[in-house]
Structure 1
């Protein structure tokens, strides 16, 4: 059997467990295509899996949920005309049979999984994936930009468009706004005609968020951002808060909401447990909304917006696959702005 290089770890731990090894090259099964990987992006979920969260995954494990490349082989039942097609992969895995799948809510599927998290992924040279999860990308979109899209941009799209029901002219506060999904949320909110408030750390990140179109940017190391939001909204608060940090920012996020506001959360990087004063919920009549990933149609809507040039993915750095451990270290240190991309 032919072999290929992969960034793999055999045990949970820090970035030092990630190493480059030779593994068997896959073959496409019925209904699948073999994609030669040209670019793959890191996500925080790659850090969680490496550390042992969730426990339901493959071991040894090849991470990487965000992949773009070229179809080089078609399995039985797949049009051979797709050979040579430039594609990006939707990493959402759903059963297609439950009630939620039937009504198009694929990310709420009772058997929902993420390719590259619960299965081996794309930090390698070739991957076999279901053909209907490989979406053609235009020639003017680079593989690196395409790889930056799947996890972050579909998550931000669903969070704001579907779950938070954002309307033009509303105010949106994005917490932790230098991470991949939070940056995507800033871009999606701007695209939808919202006024954007963002919280980050460091002068450079403040400047870059302003360049992306954020109207108000707060350096959390320099100001009490919740008080600043209150002042800059004329003591009204924002209509929507996009949360992904959790324990460290939750109280400020709730305080920043206007009456009738919506807090939508897709993560808890600083800790999963938060305190919520129920009086602020009923007195201000706010909503706390959970979200994760996206449905097939939401993923496709996001891609159309990108292909039309309404959103441009933000890339922090591009590194060779051989530097996968260093890429893990950079993401874990939190100094990045945008997506870290690995190229075989």
Structure 2
């Protein structure tokens, strides 16, 4: 009986030597020579049949192992954190006749990028990780010293971006390279996903802080500004009704204060809109609005802005109507922004 491919080759060589010895032996009868040749032929056929069975078994084992590796790869491709990676390995490695595996990840210290190793047992995920100097491998906590052992350490490929290695027993050394390549890629994917998730969380937190800051600052500015607008409007109205009137220079100064405070109020409104829109809280307060009356105050602000830049100003608004359905404040903001841009980018002439 033969037990393996190497034994089969040995028997093939032995049969060839026996056949050559019989041919060289003197005094053999023709019948004896024929019988010996037939026996050798039968032995060759038996060995050949065994080698064919062994090859078929080897090919079958390769296909089965490739299938198990494909299942392992598919599981690792869907793992987005280290715990999921350990779960996939613990599920699939026993099916590949691998029952001992440790994953070691390097931690740097000063100028040594591999000073420390953090080791986790794949098959006991609840066990805490072992951290030790890399040069003191293997750790007593994971490898019993009282028994002989053989270990295979396979490093992660540099392309995986994950510094470390995987520790196996020495039983299936030909399978470990492909397994470690997949594990290294999965660990790198998990690291990138963790960094992306953390970056997104920080970005969202920064955005919330920005919105809160804009909202607080906007309200803090709007309160005194409303007081300036109200007081300047009261002075202008009382001046129109008073006798004698305010001096022309004082009147223009107060009108300028009133106009620019309204303009600044619009800018602050834009800041508040930005904060509320980022927070998902921007709302429209729709109502019936008389367009001419709503835009009259904006036209006055535009006249003052144009005059301060030495530009002409022309505004034609109806005394009454038309009526529209919309948000009065948003309408004024849009119109004031358009006028402000027109004045800003007009060097000479007029704005209408």
What TM bracket, shorter-length normalisation? under 0.3
Higher relative contact order (CA 8 A, sep 6+): 1
**TM-score by structure 1 length?**
0.20
TM-score (norm 2): 0.19
- The structure with more helix, counted as a fraction of residues: 2
Structure number, greater radius of gyration: 2
